[in-house]
């Protein structure tokens, strides 16, 4: 239903229509994430098989590849956030990022060596970083203050639903066409289709707020020390706790590898991720709505506890179904935390540096995720899965204790 006014001042173009209580742009960004993630899950689902069994690398190598690529992605997210604040535009960076992704994903089908796979992985994650921070900042720009959690919850819910659908489609492709190297490479090629749909949706469906502030009139570097000071000490403590937690958040590829190590056939590997996202998607929407009415840190703490439980289950797993339980709990943890992380960052952020503050969060996450994947890969290589997930559970416990002392900024 079209809105004549909203709870905050929006330009006519920005607030042309509300759909189920949220600006239309929020829903379109969510649908874009649905198609994008349905393509990305193919890369994640087949990473262990492709890296270890086809290209002949080790779990440690997979940890370095995933850690480095994710770290690079989050570093680019920092740069794109600053640049989007300076430019005062989000859509153009999103469009460029998704277009580059459309070229990057099919590259995996042609990788004949580990070096080429690393290059493709790095390029794919760079393009991911280019688009993600402007996208998350656009959600903050378009969302009424009292509905930030709901807006991020919608985006995350669509993203996780897309991942689940992508995993299921991949499963049926392997089930009916086999799991040979040839089939896996063909499935990689099909990833370009949903990405193409996402690009079209961004170009034709997204309208940016006309009220966005740009920093192009500033001389020198667009972000100043005074801007960073406005974030406050509570923001930096929150960022530190998030960093500690990210040091335990390993790539989902290790979930697949854990199931494979206990005897799961390759064609069933996508179902591990599908189950994770089955729990992930509805939790994101529910928590997003609730976090607007209660303290967000409570839901983040709940997510941390779910991550702790998942690590314990995976450490003790002796059957494939144990891993499936661990993956389901991992999905609950992601649903409770991912959108809430960004909503809380937005709470701390002045309007003119929302992209920058989200970029700072992503940069800190990049370091933590790199550390996590390297630790996970190396521990797995030398000591096995049991000790690996035990260490991750200890780090998660430290973060869960720390989040209790985080002070949430009250919404004005």
Structure tokens, 251: 């790539």
Note whether 173 and 183 are within 8 A (CB).
yes
**213: Cβ–Cβ under 8 A, 6 or more apart, which residues?**
88, 351, 352
CATH superfamily of 20-210+225-403: MFS general substrate transporter like domains (1.20.1250.20)
pLDDT of 15 over the 50 cut? no
- Spatial distance between the Cα atoms of 18 and 14, rounded to a whole number of angstroms: 10
Amino acid 6: pLDDT: 40
- Of the two residues 322 and 174, the one the predictor is more confident about is 322
Lowest mean pLDDT among 95-109, 166-180, 289-303: 166-180
- How high is the pLDDT of residue 329? 94
Q: Are 95 and 394 in contact (CB under 8 A)?
A: no
Q: What mean pLDDT is reported for the chain?
A: 81
User: What stretches of 143-209 show up as alpha helix (H) in DSSP?
Assistant: 148-177, 181-189, 192-205
**Mean pLDDT over residues 348-355, rounded?**
77
Those residues with Cβ within 8 angstroms of residue 161's Cβ, 6 or more apart along the chain or in another chain:
34, 277, 281
Mean pLDDT of 202-211: 79
> Quick one: pLDDT at residue 401?
95
Mean pLDDT of 75-95: 81
The helix (run of H) or strand (run of E) holding residue 23 is: strand 22-23
User: For residues 352 and 166, which has the higher predicted lDDT (pLDDT)?
Assistant: 166
What is the model's pTM? 0.72
Q: Is 264 helix (H, G, I), strand (E, B) or coil?
A: coil
313, pLDDT greater than 90:
yes
Q: Which residues pair with 18 in a beta bridge?
A: 23
Out of 57-61, 101-105, 279-283, 375-379, which region has the weakest mean confidence (pLDDT)? 57-61
pLDDT of residue 213: 53
């Amino acid at each position: 239903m079209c809105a004549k006014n909203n709870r905050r001042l929006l330009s006519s173009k920005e607030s042309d229509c509300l759909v189920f209580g949220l600006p239309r742009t929020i829903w379109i960004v969510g649908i874009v994430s649905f198609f994008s993630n349905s393509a990305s899950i193919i890369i994640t689902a087949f990473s262990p098989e492709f890296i270890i069994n086809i290209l002949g690398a080790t779990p440690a190598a997979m940890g370095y590849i995933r850690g480095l690529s994710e770290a690079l992605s989050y570093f680019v997210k920092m740069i794109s956030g600053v640049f989007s604040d300076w430019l005062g535009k989000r859509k153009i960076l999103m469009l460029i990022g998704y277009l580059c992704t459309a070229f990057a994903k099919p590259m995996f089908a042609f990788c004949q060596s580990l070096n080429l796979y690393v290059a493709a992985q790095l390029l794919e994650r760079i393009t991911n970083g280019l688009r993600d921070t402007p996208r998350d900042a656009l959600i903050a720009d378009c969302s009424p203050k009292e509905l930030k959690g709901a807006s991020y919850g919608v985006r995350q819910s669509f993203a996780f639903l897309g991942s689940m659908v992508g995993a299921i489609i991949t499963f049926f492709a392997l089930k009916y066409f086999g799991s040979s190297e040839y089939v896996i490479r063909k499935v990689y090629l099909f990833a370009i289709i949903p990405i193409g749909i996402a690009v079209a949706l961004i170009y034709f469906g997204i309208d940016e707020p006309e009220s966005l502030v740009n920093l192009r009139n500033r001389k020198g570097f667009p972000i100043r020390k005074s801007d960073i000071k406005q974030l406050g000490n509570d923001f930096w403590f929150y960022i530190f706790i998030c960093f500690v937690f990210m040091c335990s958040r390993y790539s989902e590829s290790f979930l697949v590898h854990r199931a494979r190590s206990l005897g799961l056939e390759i064609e069933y590997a996508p179902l591990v991720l599908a189950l994770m996202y089955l729990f992930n998607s509805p939790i994101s929407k529910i928590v997003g709505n609730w976090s607007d009415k209660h303290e967000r840190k409570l839901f983040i703490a709940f997510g941390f506890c779910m991550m702790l439980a998942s690590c314990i289950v995976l450490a003790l797993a002796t059957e494939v179904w144990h891993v499936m339980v661990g993956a389901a709990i991992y999905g609950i943890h992601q649903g409770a935390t991912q959108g809430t992380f960004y909503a809380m960052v937005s709470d701390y952020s002045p309007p003119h540096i929302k992209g920058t503050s989200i970029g700072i969060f992503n940069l800190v996450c990049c370091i933590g995720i790199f550390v996590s994947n390297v630790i996970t890969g190396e521990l797995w290589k030398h000591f096995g899965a049991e000790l690996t997930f035990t260490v991750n559970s200890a780090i998660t416990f430290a973060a869960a204790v720390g989040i209790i002392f985080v002070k949430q900024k009250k919404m004005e």
